Amino acid sequence: MSAEDYLNGQIILIDKPLHWTSFQAVNKMKYALINKVGLPKKFKIGHAGTLDPLASGLLLVCTGKFTKRISELQGQVKEYTGTFYIGATTPSYDLETEIDQTFNISHIDEALITETVKQFLGEIDQKPPIFSAIKKDGIRLYEHARIGESIEIESRKTTIHEFEITRIALPEIDFRVVCSKGTYIRSLGYDFGKAMNSGSHLTVLRRTKIGDYNVINGIDVIKFEASLNSTPFEK
């Protein structure tokens, strides 16, 4: 693929690895394209929806003229798979922080889990985690959280189109969720545990789809860079 192709616009499906930020993935691609394809240093590149460092999976990276499509892509329905750990919570609702409370799970069985899932289908009210990049009074929530400030977070409407439990091996529950833009799976896990009179936090998260784009067709960032040394990269 030529420099002109990237400038005219491409949507590259990246399978983001664990522990990488979305920014790091895009930055790695940017400098690979500058150094190996000859793109100008100020060419446009960006991603359509952040994935946390502790999440893996589909990251849509747009180049050139297709960066104008980022808002459209961000608004598409997303699919995630992952694991909730039942019986314990963390301040971040995931593994970024240590467990702060533990709860009884002896009353939790498949029937309760299945019944509780129904509460979270359709439009729901959800509060984003305090450890998130949303801004409050011009400061990101995680900055408030890291200095121990208590902050009131407003709930927002989100839609859960599908919520499927794929494995029950307590204290672990595996799931598949199809949801609207702006849904926090960490918050879903926290609320799910609370609804069963227990606690929960997210231990595994993978984004598998954005609209019609599937992570099966994605490429690792390092492999993408290597492909620029050999044969032209094809989506």
Query: Which tokens sit at 81?
Result: 């798979």
Structure tokens at 59: 């990251």
Residue 101 forms beta bridges with which residues?
89
Which is the catalytic residue, given 15, 52, 94, 191?
A: 52
Distance CA 82, CA 205 (A): 4
Active site residue 109: no
CA distance 67 to 222: 22
Tell me the sheet residues that pair with 169. 172
Within 8 A by CB and 6+ apart from 180, the residues are 77, 78, 158, 159, 160, 161
Distance CA 131, CA 140 (A): 9
Tell me how far apart the alpha carbons of residues 145 and 125 are, in angstroms, rounded to a whole number.
22
User: Which residues are marked as active site?
Assistant: 52
